[in-house]
Amino acid sequence: MRQTMQNKLTAAGCHSGTCTVGEARRGGISPRSLYRLCRSGQVARVSRGVFQITGAPDAGSPDYAAIAKRVPDGVVCLLSALYHHDLTTEIPREIHLAVSRDANVPRLDYPRIRVFRMSENPFNAGIEHKVIGGTKLRIYSPEKTIADCFKYRNSRGTDVAVEALKTYMTRRGRKPGLILDMARVCRVEKIMRPYLEALV
């Protein structure tokens, strides 16, 4: 039964054994069947309307799987992006997610997210595609993330932004010019330049 369901979900375009109710329906699995499989333990509900096959070999993190399904156009940002780029010692208590200014973000009962709405140019700049926790997600590049941290310094803390910049500048392959490009996009060049020049 599990293999048949896995095949149906894969045919419907589901990845990492994770699906929404709509995807399951398109794969030939009715909502009633999906909830029955959930009750029997073959499927786990990871968030409202998002399910994951229990023990699927390529199952990803349920946190990121839920975000990928419910907010596919979102971008992992700020502290969450810093953490995945190894640019902070702080462990995020929630997932920071950027969305476009007019995006419709569904309510998630799980995982805990904090949404940051951005205008078109800052939102679209510096997006990378990575696998995080076994799930394909969009995440800002290190350079864009640092610029964002300076932009949101009043709520995230200037010390977090400065620590990230210092750590980044110790790495091989650092790109101070790209940092400034991202600073211009985020309109924080004047704020960031003195910190950057002190480290070059």
Nearest residue to 173 via CA among 93, 44, 85, 68:
85
Q: In this predicted model, what pLDDT tens digit does every residue of 63-90 receive, in sequence order?
A: 787 788 888 899 999 999 999 999 998 8
> Considering only 21-30, 71-80, 135-144, 188-197, which range has the smallest mean pLDDT?
21-30
CA distance 65 to 51: 9
Highest-confidence range of 2-11, 66-75, 128-137, 166-175, by mean pLDDT? Answer: 166-175
- pTM listed for this prediction: 0.75
In this model, does residue 179 exceed pLDDT 50? yes
Q: At residue 15, what are phi and psi to the nearest 5 degrees?
A: -130, 150
The per-residue pLDDT for range 1-46, each reduced to its tens digit, is: 455 665 666 565 565 667 777 777 777 777 787 778 778 777 777 6
What pLDDT does 57 receive? 55
pLDDT reported for residue 70: 83
Maximum mean pLDDT: which of 40-54, 100-114, 119-133: 119-133
Nearest in space to 92 (alpha carbons), one of 34, 135, 145: 145
Q: Where are the domains of the chain?
A: 2-59, 73-199
Q: For position 6, what pLDDT does the model report?
A: 59
pLDDT (mean) for 51-57: 67
Ranges 22-36, 53-67, 118-132, most confident: 118-132
184 touches 122 (CB < 8 A): no
The pair of structure tokens assigned to 100 is 């476009």
Mean pLDDT of 129-140: 84
Three-class DSSP labels, the chain: CHHHHHHHHHHCCCECCEEEHHHHHHCCCCHHHHHHHHHCCCEEEEECCEEEECCCCCCCCHHHHHHHHHCCCCEECHHHHHHHCCCCCCCCCCEEEEEECCCCCCCCCCCCEEEEEECHHHHHCCEEEEEECCEEEEEECHHHHHHHHHHCHHHHCHHHHHHHHHHHHCCCCCCHHHHHHHHHHCCCHHHHHHHHHHHC
Spatial distance between the Cα atoms of 129 and 169, rounded to a whole number of angstroms: 23
Please say whether the beta carbons of 157 and 163 come within 8 A: no
State how far the alpha carbon of 161 is from the alpha carbons of 11, 43, 118, 188, in Å: 43, 40, 18, 12
- What type of residue is 158? T
Bigger pLDDT: 15 vs 124: 124
Above pLDDT 70, what percent of the chain?
A: 84
Q: What is the pLDDT of residue 124?
A: 97
Q: What is the mean pLDDT of the chain?
A: 84
pLDDT (0 to 100) of residue 3: 54
Spell out the CATH class of 2-59. Answer: mainly alpha
